[in-house]
Structure 1
Amino acid sequence: MPNLSQDLIPVIDLATWAPTEQATQLCKAFREVGFAYIKNHGIPEEKIEEAFSWSRKFFDLPQSEKDKAPHPAEGWYHRGYSSIGREKVSQNLFDEDGLAQHRKVPDQKESFELGRENDDVMTNIWPPAAALPGFREFFVDFYNLCNGLEDKLLAAVAVGLHLPANYFDACHRGRDNQLRLLHYPPFAAELLESGQADCIGAHSDFGTMTVLFQDDVGGLEIEDQGGGAGEGGGRFRPVPCVPGTVVVNIGDMLMRWTNDELRSTIHRVLDALFHLRGSVDGGGLRADVSWAGSAEAV
């Protein structure tokens, strides 16, 4: 089976920034697949490698130290550390019985989530400085680097939709971006095959856009779109790591704003031993909820 990246997901190079040309390429990818590889994105490779290194250091801490930065009980408060099995990704499940059954299969991952430092609604929850000196300072800086990439990509999407470059700015005034570190520890393959465990089950992202940094272990898969949206029949294809690129995908909110012109594609993670998922603005970009209309020019 050929790699999906070779067949369908284009590599878009931002080295020579020509807004109209690259915006057209980006929107074409988001219409057809919902995903794109971005090359020369502006985040130094050494910074990404350092992010993976810090992430490994955090997840290698004793459980008692990680638990000192606990994710709050409230599901909407996306900050701090979640241990293995605490979070369960669900999609289109609304009845209590269905949710209870779904949660019997735990997601085999642990995570750490952070946002902007001056967020008064969701304050960051950091591990003790003595446990991991420099961790907080690095990720505050890395978060800001991701914001810069977000701004460029949102402007490109707007131009590709024949809208002003700043069209989506008003929807992200709060800068409520979320950076998430994910670790998938090894577990027995038969648990996955028998349906007794998941890494991250099939889902779409609920925000605007996700920027993903993945290592060479991979594990990300997206649903084959087939002849059209929702016609993939549940067949998934791997999205391997392409060195020097980041993966960007559209979320549900941007699909809604564009009247489904851009795709929020179903994806999942299988068989990943470790990767850092850096997502800008809420497992993707979390837009201000005050505006949920569609882009008028689309």
Structure 2
Amino acid sequence: MSNHPIPIVDFTPFLDKSAKQQAADQLLGSFKSAGFVYLTNFGIPEGEVQDMFDWLKRFFALPHETKMLAPHPDSGSHHRGYSYPCQEKEIQYSDSGDEFTIAPPSMKESFECGSEDNDFMPNIWLPEGVLPGFNEACLSFFWKCHEVEQNILRALALGFGLEEEWFLKYHETANSQLRLHHYPSIFSELLETNKLTRISAHTDFDTLTFLFQGEIGGLEVEDPNEPGNYVPVPPIPNSIVLNAGDFLRRWSNDTIRSTMHRVVAPPGVAAKDGLLPSRYSMPYFCAPDMSTIIDAIPGTWSADQPKKHEPVSVKEYAMKRFAANY
């Protein structure tokens, strides 16, 4: 990736069915080489994305006491509601799930929501009337992201030579999550001395993540060809940054990369009086049904290329990772 930036894939040929297999092959190829891809023409108009950013900024502009009316539970196993700055920390587990590293606290605040039909992890909203229209905007955008998720999963299945609905049967319950992020203005010295982070280096443990970046950058990904070297992923207008998670890597028998990434001080942005500007982003985490057992998919293993991982329960693995982050 040092000589080749993260690929840009136009999703139009898949959505309009003019060259579905070609777009699917490009998407899968990017995941195999880099674990990341910029996806353009993904199915949500630019204006609707901007509307959601407007709601995000209105929410985070509320007083702390107001945002705490929808508090994220102290236990990370219920990943909904508002998390205040430094409440969450990043945990990076080994494949076995027995070893992990803990990073400094993340200097960000978040709001998380999902499907209203998710009885396992119900939403935690502000009381009615506090920010009229916010709940409805979040839910509407969540379902738009869900539709994008389903199309991406269809494309990945085609890329693997499977029938289009193969991954969808493991994502029937809309177990995914929309997160709204605000990285408050912070003294650059705190990041430079590693006393705080914006988000430390980690992999996602879902199937895949797509990120709507604001105008301020800061996302970096590890170069697969140079471990420990991170390269910037600057915002590209009208695109999402799409990355594979640990579950998809395991499903693919490690033919897909789940790449380490982090959020740092944005390159080329000068601190004013030592303060870095605020940053906003919206990641959407595509998660399998809790009942799913992740095992290598057909065509990714053989007698000559055996399975690299034991089957793993989504519920057990996800709950362990969720709980450790709080």
Question: Fold-level match, TM-score > 0.5?
Answer: yes
Q: Identify the match of residue 269 of structure 1 among 263, 267, 271.
A: 263
| Greater strand proportion | 2
Q: How many equivalent residue pairs? A: 283
After superposition, residues 209-248 of structure 1 pair within 5 angstroms as 209-226=208-225, 232-248=226-242
After superposition, residues 1-298 of structure 1 pair within 5 angstroms as 7-17=4-14, 18-92=19-93, 102=102, 105-226=104-225, 232-271=226-265, 273-281=278-286, 285-298=287-300
Letter matched to residue 54 of structure 1: W
Superposition TM-score, scaled by structure 1 size:
0.90
Q: Say if 1:5 and 1:240, in contact at 8 Å, map to a contact too.
A: no
Letter matched to residue 53 of structure 2: F
Q: Deviations over 1:176-205 (max 9, x none)?
A: 010001110011111111111100000000
Tell me the distance in 2 between the aligned counterparts of 1:47 and 1:6.
34
Tell me the distance in 1 between the aligned counterparts of 2:184 and 2:292.
39
Tell me the distance in 2 between the aligned counterparts of 1:290 and 1:139.
26
What secondary structure does 2:153 align onto?
helix
What secondary structure does 1:260 align onto?
coil
Task: Report the CA distance shift for 1:123/1:62 in structure 2 as closer, same or farther (over 3 A).
Answer: same
Identity of aligned residues (%): 41
| Between 123-132 and 81-90, the greater mean CA deviation after superposition | 123-132
What secondary structure does 1:125 align onto?
coil
Tell me the distance in 2 between the aligned counterparts of 1:201 and 1:145.
29
**Displacement after TM superposition at 1:128 (Å):** 2.0
Q: Say if 2:206 and 2:285, in contact at 8 Å, map to a contact too.
A: no
**Displacement after TM superposition at 1:82 (Å):** 0.4
Tell me the distance in 1 between the aligned counterparts of 2:52 and 2:4.
30
**Displacement after TM superposition at 1:8 (Å):** 2.5
Q: Deviations over 1:137-163 (max 9, x none)?
A: 111110000001000000100100111
**Displacement after TM superposition at 1:5 (Å):** 10
Moved over 3 A (4+): 93-96, 286-289
Tell me the distance in 2 between the aligned counterparts of 1:78 and 1:6.
38
Tell me the distance in 2 between the aligned counterparts of 1:83 and 1:13.
36
Q: Which runs of 5+ in 1 are unaligned?
A: 227-231
1:229 corresponds in structure 2 to none
Letter matched to residue 214 of structure 1: Q
Q: Say if 1:147 and 1:280, in contact at 8 Å, map to a contact too.
A: no
Q: Say if 1:146 and 1:280, in contact at 8 Å, map to a contact too.
A: no
